[in-house]
Amino acid sequence: MNDTTACKPAHPRTLGWVWLEFFGSMNLAITLLVVIAVASVIGTVLQQNQPYPDYVLKFGPFWFEVFRQLGLYDVYGAGWFIGILAFLILSTSVCIYRQAPILWREMTRFRTLVRLESLRGFHQQAEWCLPGQGTSRVQEIVEGLLRISGYRWRVEDHGDHRVIAATKGRFSRLGYLCTHAAIVVIGIGGLLDGNLWLKLKEWSGDLRIETRDLAARDLPPESRLTPGAVPAFRGHVMLPEGAAANFVFLRIRDGFVLQELPFAIELKDFQVTYYDTGQPKSFASQVLIHDQEHLGDQPLAATIRVNHPLVYRGYAIYQSDFGDGGSKLDMQAWPLLAPQAEPVVVRGEIGNTLKIGETAAPLTLELDQFRLFNLLPEPGAQPGERKFRNFGPSFGFKLRNAAGEAREYFNYMAPAQLEGRWFYISGMRTQPGEPFTYLHIPADAKNSPARFLRFNARLRDGSWLHDWLARSPAPGDTSDFQHDFNQVRLNLLELFTQGGFAAVTERAKAVVPADRLKEATTLYLSILRDTLAEVFIEVLREENIDLAQGVAEREEAFFNDAVSALAVLPNYGSPFYLQLSTFQQVEASGLQVTRSGGAVVVYIGFALLIIGVFVMFYTSHRRLWIWLADEEDATRMVLAGVGSRRPVEFVGEFAALKAALEQRIGI
């Protein structure tokens, strides 16, 4: 970062001066700049300040820990980044301290102590012997030409000769100082706008990062920041419609702190529109700013859109995202593992948790999200076709057992038509980031899952199955054969309901010799399917379906879809199917509130940088020397010059000056 064209002052090599040379060296400054540039690239590519579990899923436990130790999840707030930035400021400041006096002398000194031999060695030089011309007259002509050409000059009489030293564009050297000062000012602005103040408070013990999942009202005082406690921050708050908040959350590493605001933000209405693909097209928040001190009882109404923030009292409020604000859901929990088919009414809000199940092994139902629209590609669409269908409202939830293990579910409210038939669709996955596996429950003639769930309940009702099989004749003459055959059917139904077709196949492998496995498996599956069909017919009879002409094609298709769904149930992992009945949507707007205490400082730094670059690249420091001496009724004149930049342009200017001198003197 040093100006290598400037001469270094001669100082004694004391320890202090060695440190000055180290901190002011170009190698150190370039190294620091490269490290900061690489860190900035990492901070741009790697999304910063995300929840730690997201990073674990993305990188795995090993690399997550490596990157965490390096501070890559909050690069701009990492201690090493702040330290490097501080060293860069120190190094550049030392450079300015060392070079400013030198550059100032370069700009203000005319250098009249030159030798004739040195001037004759310049690339741009000319020499004349002017008979009959007096030195004073030549000097007057030269000064007039310099004045017209915009040069400043100084004359030094050395007795036997005179030297006219002229200079133009001397302040081009300020470009170096401006660019160096710009780095210092921008670096200071970066420190003011970064996490330095939070780091200092944390290191001093005045601030404690909260890692527990607590509501804002429950946070302890040491995890709160009062207005003005730090000059810069960037926080986020999710506001449901009709709610207000006078705080934001600042995410720091694996926790957060609460930053209080000197005003409250109330969300009156949130509006969002979508593209045909289902992606958000635009969203905006209509807010009211409540500030008793500055606004009194009359709040400030404003609309915040993406890229159109509201700036109030130095705080910028951005529209960052949106989500659910606690939509109210009415649901029906249909039993899947019990012999009953009557649903239980469940009511909850998105964000709430409910305890369900037996007291000995309770499950926690966590309602996570609600979507009013689900625009997805049309099933069966050809590649490249932009066909989308709205699958209607959906909601997501987790079921967590007593050990803390959770399964994630995603259920659609309305049935969807697939291949001409209607299904209630429920997705399930055991780990975040994994693709969902789907359960397709066929809908009956009343657009309800009731028939399938009654069919499933009958298959799990051992008492009913025994009574039904006792009334059903077996293909044999003896009661012993009928009893054994019915027991086989019961065993197959039990295996199927517990493990699907795979359980039946595995049982066959365990009890049948290998040479007869294929034949026995086929027989088992045939008996199972016939038994399932007979139970299904009983379900149809309970619905008073006329079976005089046999099972209609529609019911036969329903049976095939139901058997496919029953085979998936053992892996579904939930003791019930949760069906959404009605809802009351409550939208929430994600607002980002920022305060930049160093913004003005950074702007000043950029202004200095622009000025410095402009001065360095578009101005040139040019020097001329005119050496005059009397020689036996003649005057010896030597003209020499040098330009710091744009040498081709200076060559032309020097030639023009030379020609003008010759014309004025009459050579």
pLDDT digit string, tens, across residues 489-537? 999 999 999 999 999 999 888 888 888 889 989 999 999 999 999 999 9
Count of CB atoms within 10 A of residue 599's CB?
A: 16
CB neighbour list of residue 350: distance below 8 Å, 6 or more residues apart: 324, 325, 326, 327, 329, 367, 368, 369, 370, 395, 586
Count of CB atoms within 10 A of residue 227's CB?
A: 15
In which residue ranges of the chain is CATH 3.30.310.80 found? 110-169+622-665
What is the value of pTM for the model shown? Answer: 0.67
Look over the chain and give the mean of its residue pLDDT values, rounded to a whole number: 87
Closest listed residue to residue 532, CA positions, set 483, 444, 459, 457? 459
Instruction: Give the confidence band of 547 by pLDDT, cuts at 50, 70, 90.
Output: confident
Please state, in angstroms and as integers, the Cα–Cα distance from residue 240 to each residue in 323, 585, 609, 661, following that order.
Answer: 9, 10, 44, 81
Mean pLDDT, residues 311-318 taken together: 93
> What pLDDT score was predicted for residue 667?
74
> What pLDDT score was predicted for residue 102?
83
Give me the half-sphere count of Cα atoms (radius 13 Å) on the Cβ side of residue 430. 5
Closest listed residue to residue 337, CA positions, set 574, 580, 564? 574
> What pLDDT score was predicted for residue 416?
92
> What pLDDT score was predicted for residue 583?
95
The amino acid sitting at 33 is L
Contact in structure between 657 and 639 (CB atoms under 8 Å): yes
The amino acid sitting at 262 is P
> What pLDDT score was predicted for residue 75?
86
> What pLDDT score was predicted for residue 5?
39
351/147 Cα distance (integer angstroms): 80
CB neighbour list of residue 289: distance below 8 Å, 6 or more residues apart: 263, 264, 265, 266, 295, 299, 300, 302, 310, 312
Which tokens sit at 517? 């496995």
Task: For residue 108, give the 3-state DSSP assignment.
Answer: helix
328/583 Cα distance (integer angstroms): 6
Phi/psi at 308 (nearest 5 deg)?
Answer: -130, 75
Strand pairing category for 255-274 and 244-252: antiparallel
Please state, in angstroms and as integers, the Cα–Cα distance from residue 412 to each residue in 255, 331, 420, following that order.
Answer: 34, 12, 18
> What pLDDT score was predicted for residue 33?
84
37 pLDDT more than 60: yes
> What pLDDT score was predicted for residue 6?
38
> What pLDDT score was predicted for residue 357?
67
110-169+622-665, CATH topology level: TATA-Binding Protein (3.30.310)
